[in-house]
Amino acid sequence: MKEVYNPHDKFFKEIFGKVEVTKDFIENYLPENILKIIDTNTLEPQKDSFITEDLEEIFSDMLFKVNINNKEGYIYLLFEHKSYKEKNISFQLLKYM
């Protein structure tokens, strides 16, 4: 059998790559006042890699284009799954963003 690398990440991207799953998640977990300005019917998955000005390749978790207040906007989903307790996880997440 072929070894699977980053199984949690692959699982996350497979599941949330389905627009209906992401829409359901957003509608059930974002606060009502934010949901009022997001048109979840316009969710559109975006590519997962980008090139910076320094020509460095960056990979995102899940990025979706969506109408927010009737204007084009983006929702970025970042799920960090850890197999151990980490003291400074909030700094790690800020670095990702």
* Neighbour tally for 15: CB within 10 Å: 12
Provide the pLDDT for residue 10: 78
The full DSSP string for 28-90 is HHS-HHHHTTEEEEEEEE--SEEE-TT--EEE-SEEEEEEETTEEEEEEE-----SS--TTHH
- Under the banding of pLDDT at 50, 70 and 90, the label for residue 66 is very high
Provide the pLDDT for residue 36: 96
For the whole model, what pTM was predicted? 0.71
Q: In whole angstroms, what is the distance from residue 89 CA to residue 80 CA?
A: 9
